[in-house]
Amino acid sequence: MVICPIDSGRYGSPEMRRIFDEESRLSKMLSVEAAVAWAQAELGEIPREAAEEIGRKANTGYVKLERCKELDAQIGHDVMAVVKALTEACSGEGRRWVHYGLTSNDVLDTATGLQLKEASAIIRGKILALIRVLSDLAVEYKGLPMAGRTHGQQIGVITLGLKFAVWLREMMRHLNRFDECMKRALVGKILGAVGTGAALGPKALEVQALALKRLGLKPADMVTQVVQRDIHAELVSLIANIGSTLDKIGTEIRNLQRTEIAELMEPFESERQVGSTAMPAKRNPVRCEKVCSLAKLLRGMAVTAFENIPLWHERDLTNSANERFILPFSFILLDEMLDTMIRVLKGVVVYPENMRANLHRTGGLILSERVAGALVEKGMGRQEAHETVRRCSMEAYTTGVTFKEALLRNREVSSRLSPEEIESLLDPETYLGVALELVDKAVEATRRELEAYGSTLEG
């Protein structure tokens, strides 16, 4: 019976879920055992034939998940169960040297490093894919005017392309953060029970270096029995940070899809898609809402990751149980969120006519800043101009006259600005400032950074 919706396949791509399934975890633990034995043989610490036998048998073709679970049920130690199962599978000298000089977390933390290496490659590729989608949208809608809003109120003019460019640069920062974090996170540890390497002998550091190089990981920086959990806390909090940006994008699309605004809409991906059990006409932003919902869960897991940093002495188990959830879940859920947001943005529906109507909805009040600036240019003090335009704005709000009429009635305004000038000032589509230039700069900066990585915006 499936309890977790991840196990049902509802969340996460098959390739991401596969990295964290039980069979894959066992395979990686066995890979660590094989790599250590190989390194020990290379350095003359164990017989070569023993390492070769361990290397042959350290895979799920010989060491079965079912047998490991059976042994675990008997002895109550999941790593020792794997060690016993591998020992059973080996013959001759191989049996004697399985897990020699190691402790459980040499295997566990290094296997985690292998999982993070595979999972991070998938996440990085999807961050890059989202960056490319946002870049295309920023260019496509660079000059499309729309209302800018603060506190939920219209108060300026932006372009849709500028909105996409803001998200583009935020995701580029996340890519930079992700690459920096991976330098610290893709590590392993082969130094025994308290991190001294005593049981591995005088060549412990060489064993660790050789084994980890074979696995494609770096040695962690100063360990006890475990890789220090500040590394995992940084990673999980970064995942929550990325998820929060996706939450922000999803929240904005949801708001702009509101019936009263109707400027953007997430796509219906099928003619048969249903929006509501009750109302046949509904088109709910369910994909964006899913992203926003999962972001809440990601942020909660970051708290748990920080709680795992303080462990007793050289280690305890207070991190162990929860990490079986927070590490796989963080990657799987972010994978789902990135896939979802890429689909939403690739198919996002834009309504320029509604944007234009909304720009004119306030009758020019959205441009009060522009009028005040024009009065300053005509000789009025800035504070006096602000107060004059504020009074005109309040008159328009409270009496029902248009903002233009209120301005024309005001002697301080009408003595400085002609009706034609006021009419021109109240055209929102001519008040874009340097928005188009900003979009170009954002796209070009992203292009340069990606080229430095050896990537391109074009894919």
Closest to 109 measured CA to CA, from 34, 217, 196? 217
Does the annotation mark 120 as catalytic?
no
**Residue 267 gets which letter from DSSP?**
P
121 exposure class (CB count in 10 Å sphere: 0-12, 13-18, 19+): middle
**207, amino acid identity:** V
Terminus-to-terminus CA distance in the chain, angstroms?
42
Say whether 12 sits in a helix, a strand or coil: coil
276 included as an active-site residue: yes
Alpha-carbon gap, residue 214 to 208, rounded angstroms: 10
Catalytic residue chosen out of the listed positions 276, 414, 418, 424: 276
Q: How far apart are CA 153 and CA 212, in angstroms?
A: 56
Instruction: Give the per-residue SS3 of 294-339.
Output: HHHHHHHHHHHHHHCCCCCCCCCCCCHHHHHHHHHHHHHHHHHHHH
The CA distance from 40 to 203, in Å, is: 9
One-letter amino acid of 236: V
Is residue 300 within 8 A of residue 247, CB to CB? The reply is no
Task: Give the pair of three-digit tokens for residue 197.
Answer: 């390497």
Is the Cβ–Cβ distance between 64 and 50 less than 8 Å?
Answer: no
Q: What is the CA radius of gyration of the chain?
A: 30
Of 151, 270, 313, 415, which one is the catalytic site residue? 151
CA 365 → CA 359, 376, 421, distances in Å?
10, 18, 15
Other beta carbons within 10 angstroms of residue 140's beta carbon come to 13
What are the catalytic residues?
A: 151, 276
